[in-house]
Amino acid sequence: MTTTSLDKAAFQSLVAEFGFQMTPQDEADYYTLVKAMEDEITEVEVMPAYVDPRLAPSVALPVADRKYSAPDKADNPLNAWSHRFTLKDEAAVSSGILAGRTVALKDTIAVAGIPLTLGTHTYQLTTSPDQPYPIPSVDAPIVTRLVESGGVIVGTATCENFCMSGLSDTSAIGPVDNPWLKGYAAGGSSSGSGVLTAIPSVEKWRKKHGLPIEDLGLGPGVDLAIGGDQGGSIRLPAAYSGVYGLKPTHGLVPYTGIASLHPMCDHVGPMASSVADVALLLSAIAGYDGMDPRATPETPLRKNVPAYHELLKAAIAEKEAKGEWTPTTAGKGLRVGLLKEGLALPKLDPKVADIVRAAAAKFESLGATVVDVSVPLHSKGGSIWSAAMRGVMADVFLSSKAPDLLAFTTTEVSPPKMTQEWYDKLTAASPMVVTAALGSKYLGDTTKFPHTYRSKAVSHVAQLRAAYDAVLDDVDILLLPVTPSVAPPHSIKAAGEKSAKGLLDMYQNNLGVSDNTGPFNITGHPALAMPGGWAPAAGIDGAESEGKLPVGIQLVGKRYGDFGVLMAASIWEVAGLGLDED
């Protein structure tokens, strides 16, 4: 921090901003009081940094022995990897529930000794000219939990520039390609996490259908991944890339040690190639860590976390014992609500709507009860998200503002200097970031938008939560699309190359993709994206396309009803996997 000293002239300017008239004695006294505040801040600033012992790096591998590399293009053809390294506990690998499964982490998660990029350009996040990116000194709790559970963390996955894109073409290292069809978006902002999880799925699917895999050129993938989700950033890449992604109930998985957009909407959760693996990974990472203020009284302590994967096996076994785990009876007792407003998106592709309605019909064929439900406020969910977030979120994700409640923040990340160079790079790479900065500056001006504006918006967040809760009293899950279409072609072809379509078009493309996902970030309900079928891909640059891409369906459950969502997804797949549909 650059230390300043409040002099009399600066204090008089401060008073003038308020329009106060002070007597000479009052001015002298108030100056003394405010100067004392500055002195206290300076006193704290020079204190040695404190790191909570609970965030000490995993002892499985000392920080000094943690070696990493940024893969070259030959080893990273889809741009999905940020940095490669290996972090594991040999003893846990042979005994933990993850049993040596490979894991990739979104590049917002602190791993001691490994660069943290947030998908943005070098030198934007640190004040040191010798260090392109900050190097955390702590392991986020989920990192330690993954290692203790026997997972083998093999690298960080590319994410979108400051995590502000629902597509996958804004990262500083360039667009992340969809593994099913190169040249198309893979979804964001957890773009690399979705792609790396999808690579084995693509290869498995092609083998199953007698198609070659030798010349795909996808590079190495992973068994499991961790994504972050503030407006859909787990579910969007899961939907576009044809895998499974769960945004858990808000506060169920600790967000400590992870770069934040805003505590109200921050989620971190599992991505995998099956429902069973999502449940397994959730078992490994869930539970209050004693530090994250996003937790609620309903958040289980780590020792009390349900073994979701075991619960899933037990519930299926129970139905099997009753002879009910069949394509006509597996859904017996399940109540599904087809959300009317979720099928009313302005840009909704009719083919996507058909897939979702077919998913509802499949639930019915399985013996579930399916009814149409309506939450009129869902159509205003995007506006409520913006009203609650836009005036304050840039203070958090760009200026590193600490939460108002006690929490550990990523102290190694310094705010970027918003120079002309910053503007030029971000305008070319991600106008969503520049817009967020401008919007927060304007909407954060309390002379124009008093705090009561946001207070009213937050009250509507509570109203929206109550509206979903009311419907979920009558049904077990909500069914709706994840995205309005399959993955579109990239807007940006290469890193640093400005979109030919223009800023407004690119921004609006991003806004549309999260209309059905963002509302559940602010209300906190668990939401799972899973493959539901296929739809034709749009052509690139006006050309026709004969390719198809995955369509994601979304299941939303009661808060802390994460298991119910996973069970419903498992039931749906008894009648066949979504990507096995024509």
- 56-105 pLDDT, tens digit each: 999 999 999 999 999 999 999 999 999 999 999 999 999 999 999 999 99
Nearest to 286 by CA among 566, 67, 42, 77: 566
- What mean pLDDT do residues 465-494 have? 96
- Identity (one letter) of the amino acid at 191? S
- What mean pLDDT do residues 257-271 have? 96
- What mean pLDDT do residues 369-373 have? 98
pLDDT beyond 60 at 3: no
Residue 4 pLDDT: 61
Per-residue pLDDT band for 466 (boundaries 50, 70, 90) equals: very high
- What mean pLDDT do residues 244-257 have? 98
Is 478 strand, coil or helix?
strand
- What mean pLDDT do residues 473-477 have? 98
Residue whose token pair is 């940006």? 492
Lay out the sheet containing 548-557: strands in order across.
Answer: 81-87, 152-157, 102-106, 224-229, 267-272, 244-247, 527-536, 548-557, 477-481, 335-339, 369-373
Tens of pLDDT, residue by residue over 128-153, are: 777 889 999 999 999 999 999 999 99
Is 179 strand, coil or helix?
coil
Q: Kindly give the residue spans of alpha helices, DSSP state H, lying in 249-339.
A: 275-285, 308-321
Cβ contacts of residue 85 below 8 Å, gap of 6+? 66, 67, 68, 69, 111, 114, 153, 154, 155
Q: Residue 238 is encoded by which pair of tokens?
A: 């899961």
Question: Could you give the CA distance from residue 564 to residue 551 in angstroms, rounded to a whole number?
Answer: 22
- What mean pLDDT do residues 369-378 have? 98
- What mean pLDDT do residues 383-402 have? 91
Residue 582 pLDDT: 62
Is 386 strand, coil or helix?
helix
pLDDT cut 70: percent of the chain above it: 99
pLDDT beyond 80 at 274: yes
Residue 417 pLDDT: 86
pLDDT beyond 80 at 546: no
Provide the 8-state DSSP code for 195. H
> How buried is 20 (Cβ within 10 angstroms: 0-12 exposed, 13-18 middle, 19+ buried)?
exposed
For residues 1 and 157, the model is more confident at 157
Relative orientation angle of helices 8-18 and 24-45, to the nearest 10 degrees:
110
Is 151 strand, coil or helix?
coil
Domains of the chain: 8-47 (no CATH), 57-580 (3.90.1300.10)
Tens of pLDDT, residue by residue over 513-526, are: 999 999 999 999 99
Q: Please give the mean pLDDT across all residues of the chain.
A: 94
pLDDT beyond 70 at 217: yes
Residue 270: what are its φ and ψ, rounded to 5°? Answer: -85, 145
Residue 49 pLDDT: 85
Question: Could you give the CA distance from residue 239 to residue 530 in angstroms, rounded to a whole number?
Answer: 6
**CB neighbour burial string for 159-185, b if at least 16 within 10 angstroms, e if fewer:** bbbbbbbbbbbbbbbbbbbbbbbbbbb
Question: Could you give the CA distance from residue 207 to residue 383 in angstroms, rounded to a whole number?
Answer: 44
Residue 126 pLDDT: 78
Residue 1 pLDDT: 46
Q: Return the C-alpha torsion angle 489, 225, 88, 173, nearest 10.
A: 20
Question: Could you give the CA distance from residue 337 to residue 372 in angstroms, rounded to a whole number?
Answer: 6
Residue 234 pLDDT: 98
Q: Are 327 and 366 in contact (CB under 8 A)?
A: yes
Question: Could you give the CA distance from residue 416 to residue 40 in angstroms, rounded to a whole number?
Answer: 26
Cβ contacts of residue 562 below 8 Å, gap of 6+? 246, 248, 249, 252, 282, 308, 526
Is 208 strand, coil or helix?
helix
- Identity (one letter) of the amino acid at 134? P
pLDDT beyond 50 at 243: yes
Beta strands in 366-504 (DSSP E): 369-373, 477-481
pLDDT beyond 60 at 372: yes
Tens of pLDDT, residue by residue over 429-445, are: 889 999 999 999 999 88
- Give the pairing type, strands 335-339 and 477-481: parallel
